[in-house]
């Protein structure tokens, strides 16, 4: 697969993040970058799947809905979306999973507190891979 | 060079490909659904990756997840196996565009032969006989009526994008044409997202004979003989054998050479099959299967060629190491499919073994059989010097099989094997019904 120079892509991501755009597409001879905010299209790009864990009371695990690369930050030098102890509302972004040159933002389906981050940033996650241990609020 | 292959399939065929990779010193990754986590293919592969939930449309049909997994795991190629995405031209193109090798024909070839109207036209151009019928898609009901009248009833309406018995309607007279046309159109749209239909003369109880080919896309095309797959239940094959019993050598040669010229015309790359209907002394083109087939071991046993290994070698860009002259088809081979009649937990399993018996299966004792996928449990393949010898080896082999916990078609398969109709070799696609009806009548 073709790779972009990282400063260029970082700038793109940062600009997209700050903008009010729902979708963004850039095509050059060598590559196409498409960005889309979750929840804006007809087809939801991502969803969360929560599984109860028997051993820990009230702790749930959010797993990866797709195969891709896990990122905790919107850009390498940007602060992470969430950390251990953060509380999030339903619809808040938890992480991005890059797949097929698309940055898919994974949103929380319910208000919760992050108990543990289970996946290692910048590594591959498969379908169903545990990403976050959370406590429902 | 291919160093690592992602296998986008499941069951016995995924395992078959894992084994071929092992033989070639290539690493294998099985892409699996959550329901297949504990499968034998996963256990025996070098790596495994979960690509989605149980239902196929959430996993084995999720091309994006499959390609992503292949890229992230640094695979060089994707083997689509049989079914699922194996004949999906859009998927093959995405694989190519991702810089990976698709182990199969080029996406444009898949698209070309995937359209039945287009495939018939190409076959006719290559000098392959086609069933009398419209070379054009039907415009509307009136067009269907005109074509049917010109051909003479019975006719069969088929989905142009279809296959596997879906979107097909047999019409015996004009009275039934309208409803059949509308149903076929609806079914075609539902199954293939394309409501194009065409019409052909319907041949009552033909034989189903197909030619196995290998083509390197560099000018060498070889045929590995034919398989008779006439024993079917609702278009699903039950027994496959090679050579086809009682097929005269002139027809065999004509079929083989017609198939080869079609593949040459297509510039075909990989393993593929040309399916024919045989009616008395005539044979007609049915379709090209642009992939490996379930019954490929039958041809492997009579030709001595490993089809999966050849697929991988061709995908690496190697020219075939043999030509038609090097292929000596010897002896006889017969495959019997053992299917489950429902899902559940499999109890004790005993598969046959011994001389002349090959078993391709992915089930084990005390494993679960997910309800999401097809019902194939095992393929028992025997090789012998003659058909007569092959039938008794198969009888012995089937006698050894035990599959507990789920209902299977084993008794029915034994019954067909023992039937006079099958033993005498006068096989045709109506044989299954004749044998089973007769039993019900007598019983």
pLDDT tens across B39-80, in order?
A: 999 999 999 999 999 999 999 999 999 999 999 999 999 999
Nearest to B72 among A124, A127, A128 (CB): A124
% residues pLDDT > 70 (chain B): 98
pLDDT tens across A45-83, in order?
A: 444 444 444 444 679 999 999 999 999 999 889 999 999
Closest approach of B340 to chain A, Cα-based (Å): 28
B69 touches chain A (CB under 8 A): yes
Model confidence at B402, in pLDDT bands (50, 70, 90)?
A: very high
Strand ranges (DSSP E) for chain A? 23-27, 32-36, 49-52, 59-63, 68-71, 87-88, 93-99, 102-107, 112-117, 124-125, 130-136
Contacts of B349 (CB under 8 A, 6+ apart): B363, B364, B365, B402, B403, B404
Whether residue A39 has pLDDT greater than 50 = no
pLDDT recorded at residue B97? 96
B interface test, pick of A104, A122, A127, A130 with most B CB neighbours within 10 Å: A127
Beta carbons of A124 and B53 less than 8 Å apart:
no
Cα–Cα distance measured from residue B158 to residue B187, given in angstroms and rounded to the nearest whole number: 10
Nearest to A128 among B34, B72, B99 (CB): B34
Beta carbons of A99 and B73 less than 8 Å apart:
no
pLDDT recorded at residue A46? 43
H-only helix segments in A1-137: 6-18
Beta carbons of A124 and B99 less than 8 Å apart:
no
Closest approach of B97 to chain A, Cα-based (Å): 8
Model confidence at A40, in pLDDT bands (50, 70, 90)?
A: very low
Question: How big is the A-B interface in CB pairs under 8 Å?
Answer: 42
Q: Alpha carbon of A101 to those of A96, A117, B31: distances in Å? A: 12, 24, 20
| Chain B residues with CB-CB distance to A2 below 8 A | 99
Token digits of residue B231: 């024993």
B contact residues 191-210, partner A, Cβ 8 Å cutoff: none
| Chain B residues with CB-CB distance to A119 below 8 A | none
What is the C-alpha end-to-end distance of chain A, expressed in Å? 41
Token digits of residue B187: 């079914």
Cα–Cα distance measured from residue A44 to residue B25, given in angstroms and rounded to the nearest whole number: 41
Query: What is the DSSP secondary-structure string of B9-45?
Result: --HHHHHHHHHHHHHHT-EEEEEEEGGGTT-HHHHHS
Give the number of other Cβ atoms within 10 Å of residue A101's Cβ. 17
Beta carbons of A67 and B51 less than 8 Å apart:
yes
Mean pLDDT for all residues in chain B: 94
B50 touches chain A (CB under 8 A): yes
pLDDT tens across B147-185, in order?
A: 999 988 999 998 888 766 677 889 999 999 999 999 988
Of B10, B291, B337, B387, catalytic:
B291
Q: Tell me if residue B19 is catalytic.
A: no
* Residue range B313-341: mean pLDDT, rounded: 96
pTM for the predicted model, two decimal places: 0.83
Cα–Cα distance measured from residue B283 to residue B196, given in angstroms and rounded to the nearest whole number: 25
Q: Which residue of chain A is at minimal alpha-carbon distance from B73?
A: A124
% residues pLDDT > 70 (chain A): 61
Beta carbons of A127 and B68 less than 8 Å apart:
no
Nearest to A66 among B65, B71, B99 (CB): B65
Whether residue A1 has pLDDT greater than 50 = no
Model confidence at A9, in pLDDT bands (50, 70, 90)?
A: low
A interface test, pick of B65, B66, B76, B100 with most A CB neighbours within 10 Å: B65
B67 touches chain A (CB under 8 A): yes
Beta carbons of A127 and B50 less than 8 Å apart:
yes
Beta carbons of B50 and A100 less than 8 Å apart:
no
B29 touches chain A (CB under 8 A): no
| Chain B residues with CB-CB distance to A99 below 8 A | 64-65, 68
Nearest to B98 among A1, A69, A129 (CB): A1
Cα–Cα distance measured from residue B388 to residue B105, given in angstroms and rounded to the nearest whole number: 37
The DSSP call for residue B291 is S
SS3 A102: strand
Classify the phi-psi angles of B83: left when phi > 0, otherwise alpha if psi is within -120 to 50, otherwise beta.
left
B247 touches chain A (CB under 8 A): no
Beta carbons of A127 and B71 less than 8 Å apart:
no
CA atoms within 13 A on the CB side of B137: 16
Mean pLDDT for all residues in chain A: 79
Q: Which residue of chain A is at minimal alpha-carbon distance from B99?
A: A1
Classify the phi-psi angles of A116: left when phi > 0, otherwise alpha if psi is within -120 to 50, otherwise beta.
beta
- Of B40-49, B253-262, B364-373, B434-443, which gets the smallest average pLDDT? B434-443
Contact between B231 and B416 (Cβ < 8 Å): yes
Q: ∠ CA B216-B218-B220 to the nearest 5 degrees?
A: 65
pLDDT recorded at residue A20? 65
Choice between B56 and A6, residue whose per-residue pLDDT is larger: B56
Closest approach of B65 to chain A, Cα-based (Å): 5
Q: Which residue of chain B is at minimal alpha-carbon distance from A70?
A: B72
Token digits of residue A93: 């972004």
* H or E stretch at B70: helix B63-72
| Chain A residues with CB-CB distance to B96 below 8 A | none
| Chain B residues with CB-CB distance to A100 below 8 A | 64, 67-68
**CB neighbour class for B294 (10 Å; exposed up to 12, middle 13-18, buried from 19):** buried
Model confidence at A44, in pLDDT bands (50, 70, 90)?
A: very low
Question: Nearest Cα to B115, choosing from B163, B183, B180, B186?
Answer: B163
Closest approach of A69 to chain B, Cα-based (Å): 8
ipTM value: 0.74
Cα–Cα distance measured from residue B191 to residue B161, given in angstroms and rounded to the nearest whole number: 9
Beta carbons of B50 and A126 less than 8 Å apart:
yes
């Amino acid at each position: 697969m073709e790779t972009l120079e990282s400063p260029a892509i970082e700038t793109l991501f940062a600009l997209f993040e700050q903008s009010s755009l729902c979708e963004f597409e850039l095509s050059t001879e060598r590559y196409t970058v498409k960005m889309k905010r979750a929840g804006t299209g007809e087809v939801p790009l991502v969803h969360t799947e929560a599984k109860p864990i028997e051993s820990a009371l009230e702790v749930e695990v959010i797993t990866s809905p797709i195969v891709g690369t896990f990122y905790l930050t919107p850009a390498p030098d940007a602060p992470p979306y969430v950390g251990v102890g953060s509380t999030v509302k339903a619809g808040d972004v938890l992480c991005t999973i890059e797949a097929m040159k698309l940055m898919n933002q994974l949103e929380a389906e319910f208000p919760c507190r992050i108990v543990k981050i289970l996946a290692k940033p910048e590594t591959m996650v498969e379908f169903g891979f545990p990403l976050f241990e959370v406590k429902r609020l | 060079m291919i160093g690592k292959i992602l296998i986008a399939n499941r069951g016995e065929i995924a395992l078959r490909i894992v084994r071929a990779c092992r033989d070639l010193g290539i690493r294998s990754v099985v892409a699996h659904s959550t329901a297949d986590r504990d499968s034998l293919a996963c256990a025996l592969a070098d790596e495994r990756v979960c690509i989605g939930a149980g239902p196929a449309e959430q996993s084995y049909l999720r091309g994006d997840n499959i390609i992503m997994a292949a890229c992230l795991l640094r695979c060089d190629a994707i083997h689509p196996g049989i079914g699922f995405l194996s004949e999906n031209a859009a998927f093959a193109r995405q694989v190519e565009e991702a810089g990976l090798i698709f182990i199969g024909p080029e996406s444009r070839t898949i698209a070309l032969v995937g359209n039945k109207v287009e495939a018939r036209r190409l076959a006719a151009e290559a000098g392959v006989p086609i069933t009398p019928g419209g070379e054009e898609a039907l415009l509307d009901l009136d067009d269907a009526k005109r074509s049917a009248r010109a051909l003479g009833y019975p006719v069969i309406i088929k989905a142009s994008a279809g296959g596997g018995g879906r979107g097909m309607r047999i019409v015996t007279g004009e009275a039934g044409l309208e409803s059949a046309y509308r149903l076929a159109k609806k079914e075609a749209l539902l199954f293939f997202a394309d409501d194009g239909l065409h019409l052909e003369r319907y041949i009552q109880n033909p034989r189903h004979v197909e030619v196995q080919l290998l083509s390197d896309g560099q000018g060498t095309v070889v045929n590995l003989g034919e398989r008779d797959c006439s024993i079917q239940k609702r278009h699903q094959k039950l027994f496959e054998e090679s050579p086809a019993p009682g097929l005269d050598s002139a027809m065999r040669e004509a079929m083989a050479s017609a198939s080869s010229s079609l593949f040459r015309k297509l510039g075909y790359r990989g393993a593929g099959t040309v399916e024919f209907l045989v009616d008395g002394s005539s044979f007609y083109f049915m379709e090209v299967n642009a992939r490996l087939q379930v019954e490929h071991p039958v041809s492997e046993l009579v030709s001595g060629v490993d089809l999966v290994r050849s697929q991988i070698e061709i995908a690496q860009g190697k020219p075939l190491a043999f030509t038609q002259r090097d292929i000596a088809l010897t002896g006889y081979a017969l495959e019997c499919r053992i299917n489950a009649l429902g899902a559940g937990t499999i109890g004790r399993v005993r598969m046959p073994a011994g001389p002349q018996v090959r078993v391709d299966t992915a089930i084990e004792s005390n494993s679960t059989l997910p309800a999401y996928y097809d019902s194939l449990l095992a393929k028992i393949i025997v090789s012998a010097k003659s058909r007569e010898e092959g039938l008794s080896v198969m009888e012995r082999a089937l006698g050894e099989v035990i599959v507990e916990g789920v209902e299977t078609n084993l008794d029915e398969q034994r019954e067909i094997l023992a039937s006079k109709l099958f033993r005498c070799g006068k096989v045709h696609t109506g044989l299954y019904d004749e044998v089973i009806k007769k039993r019900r009548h007598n019983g």
